[in-house]
A and B are shown apart, each in its own frame.
Chain A
Amino acid sequence: GQQVMQIPQYQHVQEGEDFTTYCNSSTTLSNIQWYKQRPGGHPVFLIQLVKSGEVKKQKRLTFQFGEAKKNSSLHITATQTTDVGTYFCAGKINLGGTALIFGKGTTLSVSS
């Protein structure tokens, strides 16, 4: 079936370093949503991108949606220990079913 791929699966950084996770689809996506799941918690919505080439920022987080609407990225500048968790992207495949397809997530660990 249709898939949304995320890389890397795991990433460890030193506090203060930057971090990027990538989300890719083989088919065009109608939108991309990003969620964060803290250890032991449940996914919490971060942001949504809809337009081709869209870039949105939330403090140290920068989200991009590719021009072809097939990929997206989340970049965190100067990571902090509070950034620890798993980041999921989710998108709707244009011609697919009705539900969002979630990527498998990128788990970020940060050491101080």
Chain B
Amino acid sequence: GAGVSQSPSNKVTEKGKDVELRCDPISGHTALYWYRQRLGQGLEFLIYFQGNSAPDKSGLPSDRFSAERTGESVSTLTIQRTQQEDSAVYLCASSLRAQYTDTQYFGPGTRLTVL
């Protein structure tokens, strides 16, 4: 079946604008994760969803960042009043459940550039 998809693949925005990033998880996967990866850096956990609730939002860097999920489907990550330091690749992953032993399947990411 289809893997995790993300849109857009690239987004260039001006400082101060809001952006919305979208993630479509693998069908049937109840858990969904958002990560940020700055150039040449590791994966920075942002938030994860079990169904449409977010038990762990500990990684969101500021109140400019928010995310929501509709049922066990699409999730959007919203960044308000973008700053240049928000420039990164935003990766979404899904897993069958939210068990730590479950494999996470990653999407191709959205490359965000804030000018």
Contact = CB atoms under 8 A, between A and B. Distances in A.
A42 B101 contact: no
By size class, the interface of chain A is: 20 to 34
A100 B69 CA distance: 20
By size class, the interface of chain B is: 20 to 34
Nearest to B4: A42
A45 B104 contact: yes
Given A98-B48, A99-B45, A42 B91 contact: yes
A43 B42 CA distance: 10
B100 A31 contact: yes
Contact of A43 (B43, B48, B59, B101): B43
Interface stretch (A59-67, A77-85, A101-109): A101-109
A33 B55 CA distance: 21
10 contacts: A31-B101, A35-B104, A41-B108, A43-B91, A43-B104, A44-B106, A88-B42, A97-B58, A99-B33, A103-B42
Given A42-B107, A43-B93, 5 more contacts: A6-B42, A41-B108, A42-B109, A88-B43, A105-B42
